[in-house]
Every structure is written in structure tokens, then in C-alpha cells.
């Protein structure tokens, strides 16, 4: 069969030996060389077709991308011509890579613009998932290990793909390698030009990429290299769940995509995916190499977490909880340097931090000597070189603590309450000053008007909790989950918010600085101290 490329043709299908279209009389052999066999896809600004090159021996197949201006106005033709040339230059700059189709030809014909690329035979990842179902963690890890070096190759050549998604990834039938297709350089430039033309805003929906896979900064027409990292992370969620972003549920309070309860993967892999999917660019991995390093850290995670509760801030810039070690590895990316850093961290922490399990089991009073954090973290006051001695009170389990509260007790200062499970508890107007509450579960709890001054809430679960008017000065909230929490009028002066998740949190009237919030994770659902929603 021969296919007509006239976009206005009412019946484009023709017999294989036809010279002219039976419907519109258009020539069917493009440039006296390419015979189009069928349409592969169509979008708002162009279409792609499968064709045969009748000039080369064996008549090899190729893909023809036709760029179609949406009108005949001179500025639209000029815009299309510039965009067409820009994409051709981009594809030429990329050069030959085994995981990308080669650019074979480009030309203009009858006010339409054409790119001819190598044809990749195989099924897309979207087709694979629809046929075989969701993939497991091992498969998705292999996918990342295959795709991340390709992204690094593109980004080193100053190219942002902008449209990474399962439908644009083909597993080549010949060698089972993944091939990335449909480069989005044209789409981004369409947006920038069309946005300045009144009455042409319909082009922008095509220009910014695929909704759900494109991150917020790309939807705002400001894509960066990390935009491709986000799209790759969304693709991983699709592979693990078999659902596209539009079919997943979103938390109405925080605006976050709810996917974690739908997958069965390791906690380490969840952490990597979380950071790939950060809404804020500053909290996301900035390069493909950072993601690769995070994946390579896994063999050491069990020993790193074993017996450790608090995380010091003075061991390098990166935080092992979110695997951001770009600063530590700036002089070398070898796994041996990563092992050395992790080993050093383990030794340093074990030398300073008491055994949490023994603290929980021991109901006797004990004196614990701890090193204060660096003054740069704004967690503790006083001389940074002195040793702080904290006298911990007898250990209380969750049942005893709640019973004591019901009997009227409101003072639990300097207690070791780490790892307690207190979801939905009513503990308002209570004194937890200088207490240890690492990894304590306060989800949905009422903690209104409490005193958590100088308390350690490291990685505590405070999701959807009521912390209004709560005193948190010098508290350590590093890595704490505060999604959807009510922190209105809370006092957070000098609190450590590094890595704290404030997505969807209400900070109206809170005493907190922009510098503190810059260390935390926020999104468009976060209510700032001034009462407005949005990112910094």
C-alpha cells in the first residue's frame, strides 16, 4: 500500500503501484525516493509515517516525520522552517548512538517539512506493559541502568529530550536494547515562539510535552536537565504499576501522586524514586550520574542503618537518607570512594550514638553524652565545642504515655520516646522539651500548643498532624514527614528542616525563615507563612 502525505486528503490509502493519489492527485513518491506505507502517529503540529527508501539497495524502511504548520500565514511558515532546522541541527549534534535512531535526511517539500530517521523495529514499553503487565523492581532497575547513561550522554551535549515516556521507548527486536525516539527540541521552541503570537496559544498544549510525565518547570516552559530525570521517574512508576499518571490517585491535601502503596519494592528504591519525582527542582537529582550513584549505594545501606537513629550533619554535604552525594563524589565516582564514605559515617555514628534498642528496653534512668551538632545547622545553641549532657528520664511505651496523659500529666521533657507508635493521639498542650522522638509515629495526632523545643524529631512521622502554635525552636526535624501538617503560627526559629517534607503543609503565620524552608521539601500545595500557596 502507498499512503498520501497530503494532510487534507480525505482518503490517503492507495494501491502499492500507484503514482498519484486516487483521492487528491498528490504525488505519492516523496522526493522521488520515499514511498510512504502507513501512518504511525499524529499530533497537533506534525505526523510520523513508515516509509521505504526506493533508492537504496534492499529498499530499507525508515520513519518520516512531517512538520505541518497550522496555517498558511507567512510567520507560521517561517516559524515552522526555523523549528524544523533547529530539530535537524539538534539530531545532528547528538551524532550516532546505538540507543537513538540516526538522522538520515531532512528537506522541505510543498511547504511541508520532513525529517527522515532510521526505523527501529520493536515494541514500545507501553505496548510491553499492556501485553505483559507491570514489571518488578529488578526489571525497573535494569531499565534505569540502561537509560541513565543515555540521558547523561544527551545532557553532556546540552540536549534535553523533554518527552520521555513509555510510548517513546522502543525495545529493539534485533538486540532487545531500549531506543529513545521522538526528540522534543521542536516542541519546546514552538511554545516559546507561539506564546508571543496572539491567537496561537493552542500550540502550547503540544509544545510542553506530555502532561503527567512532564514536571512543573517544564509545563511552565522552563525545562532543565532534571526535567528528564522526573519523566524517567514517572516512567518507572508506570512500569511498576501499569498505570499512567492520569490513572493514579493524588493526595488532595498535599497534591502528591499516591504510588508507594501500589508497588512492592525495597525501601531504598522507594527513596531513589521519591527523589527523582521531587516537584521542586532543587530537591530532585540534578544529573543522571547522581541517580546512578544512588543506585550503587544499596549494598551498604543495611550496615549504615543498623542500630542508628540520628544522622549527624557534619559528615559531608550529602544525606544518606536521600542519597545525594554529588558534593562528596565530585573528585571521583568510583564505588570504592563511596564505600569509604559510608564506612566512615558508620564508624563516626557508632562512636557517638548510643544503642537505641538498649535505650528502649532499659527503663532505668541513665545519662547519655551526645556531641552537639555543628552550629551551622542551627539545631543547638551554646558553645559548639562543649559537650552537652542530657539526662533522659525513664522510658515510657505508648500505652503508658497515653495513660499518664489521660490522668492529667503534661510534662514529658527529656524523655526517650523514640519509635513510639502514637497515630491519631490527643497530646495537646504537652511539654516534650529536649525529648528524643526519632522515628516516632505521630501521624494525624493532635499536638496543638506543645513544647518541642530542642527535641529530636529526626525522621518522625508527623503527617496530617495538628502542630498549630507549637514551639519547635531548635528542634531537629531533619527528614521528618510533615505532609499535610497544620503548622499555622508554629514557632520554628532555628529548627533544622533539612530534608523535612512540607508538601501540603500549612505554615500560615509560622515563625520560620526562607533559608530554613529552602532546605525542606515543598510543593505547590504548601501554604507559605504569608498565607499563599506555592514553591519558593
Distance in angstroms (rounded) separating the CA atoms of residues 378 and 389: 18
CA distances in angstroms from 323 to 77, 262, 272, listed in the order given: 48, 23, 7
Contact 240, 134 (CB under 8 A): yes
* Closest C-alpha among 535, 472, 478 to residue 505: 535
**Residue 109 annotated among the catalytic residues of the structure:** no
189 Cβ partners below 8 Å, 6+ apart? 82, 83, 86, 207
Element (DSSP H or E) covering residue 225: helix 225-241
User: β-strands 103-109, 61-67: how paired?
Assistant: unpaired
Which residues contribute to the annotated binding site for ATP? 65
Tell me the H-state helices in 367-455. 398-406
What distance lies between CA 441 and its chain's CA centroid? 25
Contact 44, 75 (CB under 8 A): no
Distance in angstroms (rounded) separating the CA atoms of residues 521 and 319: 14
20 Cβ partners below 8 Å, 6+ apart? 26, 27, 28
Tell me the three cell numbers of residue 68: 505541518
CB neighbours of residue 468 within 10 Å: 21
Contact 219, 208 (CB under 8 A): yes
Place of cell 549534534: 93
**506: number of CA atoms within 13 Å, CB side?**
15
Q: Using the Cα atoms of residue 210, residue 212, residue 218 and residue 219 in order, give the sign of their dihedral.
A: positive
Distance in angstroms (rounded) separating the CA atoms of residues 469 and 450: 8
Tell me the three cell numbers of residue 76: 507560521
348 Cβ partners below 8 Å, 6+ apart? 312, 315
Distance in angstroms (rounded) separating the CA atoms of residues 535 and 526: 7
481: left (phi over 0), alpha (psi -120 to 50) or beta: beta
Which residues contribute to the annotated binding site? 65
Q: Using the Cα atoms of residue 366, residue 409, residue 486 and residue 380 in order, give the sign of their dihedral.
A: negative
Place of cell 513518491: 29
Catalytic residue among 105, 109, 163, 486: 163
Q: Which residues are catalytic?
A: 163
Amino acid at each position: 500500500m502507498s499512503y498520501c502525505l497530503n494532510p487534507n486528503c480525505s482518503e490517503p490509502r492507495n494501491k502499492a503501484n500507484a503514482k498519484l493519489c486516487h483521492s487528491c492527485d498528490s504525488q505519492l513518491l516523496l522526493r522521488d525516493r520515499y514511498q510512504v506505507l502507513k501512518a504511525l502517529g499524529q499530533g497537533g503540529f506534525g505526523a510520523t509515517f513508515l516509509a521505504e527508501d526506493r533508492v537504496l539497495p534492499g529498499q530499507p524502511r525508515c520513519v518520516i516525520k512531517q512538520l505541518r504548520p497550522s496555517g498558511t500565514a507567512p510567520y507560521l511558515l517561517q516559524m515552522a522552517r526555523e523549528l524544523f532546522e533547529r530539530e535537524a541541527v539538534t539530531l545532528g549534534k547528538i551524532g550516532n548512538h546505538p540507543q537513538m535512531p540516526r538522522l538520515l535526511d531532512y528537506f522541505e517539500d510543498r511547504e511541508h517539512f520532513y525529517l527522515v530517521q532510521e526505523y527501529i523495529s520493536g515494541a514500545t514499553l507501553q505496548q510491553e506493559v499492556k501485553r505483559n503487565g507491570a514489571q518488578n523492581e529488578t526489571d525497573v532497575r535494569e531499565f534505569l541502568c540502561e537509560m541513565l547513561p543515555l540521558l547523561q550522554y544527551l545532557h553532556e551535549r546540552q540536549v534535553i529530550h523533554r518527552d520521555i515516556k513509555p510510548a517513546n521507548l522502543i525495545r529493539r527486536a534485533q538486540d532487545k536494547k531500549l531506543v529513545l525516539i521522538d526528540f522534543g527540541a521542536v516542541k519546546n521552541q514552538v511554545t516559546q515562539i507561539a506564546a508571543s503570537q496572539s491567537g496561537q496559544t493552542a500550540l502550547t498544549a503540544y509544545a510542553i510535552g506530555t502532561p503527567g510525565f512532564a514536571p512543573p518547570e517544564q509545563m511552565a516552559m522552563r525545562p532543565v536537565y532534571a526535567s528528564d530525570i522526573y519523566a524517567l521517574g514517572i516512567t518507572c512508576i508506570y512500569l511498576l504499576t501499569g498505570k499512567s499518571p492520569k490513572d493514579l490517585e493524588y493526595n488532595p491535601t498535599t497534591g502528591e501522586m499516591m504510588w508507594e502503596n501500589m508497588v512492592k519494592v525495597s525501601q531504598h528504591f522507594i527513596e531513589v524514586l521519591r527523589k527523582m519525582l521531587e516537584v521542586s527542582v532543587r530537591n530532585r537529582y540534578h544529573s543522571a550520574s547522581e541517580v546512578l550513584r544512588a543506585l550503587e549505594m544499596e549494598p551498604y545501606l543495611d550496615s549504615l542503618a543498623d542500630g542508628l537513629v540520628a544522622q549527624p550533619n557534619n559528615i559531608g554535604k550529602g544525606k544518606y537518607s536521600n542519597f545525594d552525594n554529588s558534593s562528596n563524589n565530585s573528585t571521583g565516582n568510583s564505588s570504592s570512594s563511596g564505600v569509604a564514605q559510608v564506612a566512615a559515617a558508620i564508624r563516626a555514628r557508632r562512636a557517638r550514638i548510643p544503642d537505641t534498642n538498649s535505650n528502649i528496653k532499659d527503663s532505668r534512668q541513665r545519662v547519655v553524652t551526645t556531641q552537639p551538632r555543628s552550629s551551622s545547622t542551627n539545631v543547638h545553641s551554646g558553645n559548639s565545642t562543649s559537650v552537652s549532657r542530657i539526662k533522659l528520664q525513664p522510658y515510657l511505651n505508648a500505652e503508658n504515655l497515653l495513660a499518664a496523659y489521660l490522668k492529667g500529666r503534661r510534662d514529658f521533657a527529656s524523655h526517650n520516646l523514640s519509635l513510639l507508635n502514637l497515630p491519631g493521639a490527643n497530646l495537646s498542650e504537652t511539654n516534650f522539651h529536649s525529648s528524643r522522638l526519632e522515628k516516632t509515629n505521630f501521624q494525624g495526632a493532635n499536638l496543638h500548643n506543645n513544647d518541642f523545643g530542642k527535641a529530636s524529631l529526626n525522621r518522625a512521622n508527623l503527617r496530617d498532624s495538628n502542630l498549630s502554635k507549637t514551639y519547635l525552636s531548635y528542634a531537629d526535624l531533619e527528614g521528618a514527614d510533615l505532609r499535610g501538617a497544620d503548622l499555622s503560627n508554629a514557632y520554628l526559629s532555628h529548627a533544622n528542616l533539612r530534608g523535612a517534607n512540607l508538601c501540603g503543609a500549612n505554615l500560615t503565620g509560622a515563625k520560620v525563615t526562607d533559608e530554613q524552608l529552602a532546605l525542606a521539601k515543598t510543593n505547590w500545595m504548601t501554604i507559605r507563612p504569608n498565607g499563599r500557596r506555592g514553591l519558593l
